[in-house]
Amino acid sequence: MRKKELRLVVTFHTTADAMAMEKECKENQVNGRLIPVPRSISAGCGLAWCAGLEDKDTILSMMDQVGIEHEDLHECMV
């Protein structure tokens, strides 16, 4: 297993929100990728956006700007 790092993990209510996030991040050249929601955050399933903590402000302002609805923001070892 890869070594875990403290990273930013954004969760969403629906897959459509996660896909919108991926698309906007790509268009706005924001780093990160979709991952399965880590067990430490939720016992459910679904997609989450995972990025470096250093990108947190950029990500938050971009989500705000383009109107992406997220469920929660986490900083966790993934």
Partner 1 sequence: MIYLDNAATTMHKPQAVIDAVVNAMNSIGNAGRGANTASLGAARLIYETRERLAGMFGAESPKQIVFTSNSTESLNIAIKGLIDPGDHVITTVLEHNSVLRPLYELQEKGVEITFLESDEKGCVRYGDFEKAVKDNTKAIICTNGSNLTGNLVDIQKVGEIAEKYGLLFIVDASQTAGVFPIDVKSMHIDVLCFTGHKGLLGPQGTGGMYVREGLSVRPLKSGGSGVQTYSRKHPKEMPTALEAGTLNGHGIAGLHAALGYIEETGMDHIREKEQFLMRMFYEGVKDIPGVKIYGDFSSYNRCPIVTLNIRDYDSSEVSDELLMTYDISTRPGGHCAPLMHEALGTVEQGSVRFSFSHFNTEEEIAAAVKAVRELAEE
Task: Quote the longest CA-to-CA distance of the chain.
Answer: 36
Q: Least CB distance from residue 41 to partner 1, whole Å?
A: 12
**Binding of partner 1 by 40 (CB under 8 A):** no
Q: Would you give the distance in Å from CA 30 to the centre of its chain?
A: 11
**Binding of partner 1 by 1 (CB under 8 A):** no
**Binding of partner 1 by 47 (CB under 8 A):** yes
**Binding of partner 1 by 45 (CB under 8 A):** yes
Which whole-number Å values give the CA distances from 58 to 25, 62, 65, 76, in the listed order?
10, 6, 10, 18
Site residues for partner 1 per CB under 8 A: 12-20, 22-23, 34-36, 43-47
